[in-house]
Amino acid sequence: MINLQPVLTASFWFDLTPNAMGPLFSKIFFIIFAVLVIAASAARIVANNKLTDKYHKIIALRAANIAFITGILGFVIYFFTFEEIQFFGSRFWFLVLLLGVIVAVVRLLKYAKKDVPAMRKHEQSKAEVNKYLPRRN
C-alpha cells in the first residue's frame, strides 16, 4: 500500500532541494506528458483536416495548444526533477503547471460556452443585414 501522508504536507511540495522520484511515479509522469504531446498532435491533425466549422476548429486547436504546452513544460519540469536540479526541480512546479492548465481549460470552456454562441449570433445577424445591401457585379 502506498503511503500518501507525505504528499499532503506543504513541506513535501515546497522543498527546494528535490529528491529523485520513485520509479513508478517517474514512469507515470513520463507517460502522462507523452500522451499529452501525442494527443495534441492528433487533435491538431484532426482539426486541420476533418473539422469544417470554424468555431469547432478554433476550439480544437486551442485545446491542442493547451495539451502540447502542458506536455512540453511537463517534460522540462520532469527533466529538472530527474536530474535533481535545485529550485527548478522542485515539486511545486508541478502544482504551478496544474494551476496553469486549470486556468487555460476554464478560459477555453468560457470561450466555447459564452463567446462562440455570441459570435455565431453576431455573424448570423450580419448575414441577415448584408443580404439586403447592394453588391458590385
- Condensed to tens digits (0 to 9), the pLDDT of residues 3-48 reads 777 767 787 778 887 777 788 888 998 999 999 999 999 999 999 9
Mean pLDDT in the chain?
A: 89
> Are 97 and 74 spatial neighbours (Cβ–Cβ below 8 Å)?
yes
> Are 60 and 47 spatial neighbours (Cβ–Cβ below 8 Å)?
yes
> Are 90 and 14 spatial neighbours (Cβ–Cβ below 8 Å)?
yes
Q: Please state the pTM of the whole predicted model.
A: 0.83
Residue 86: DSSP 8-state: T
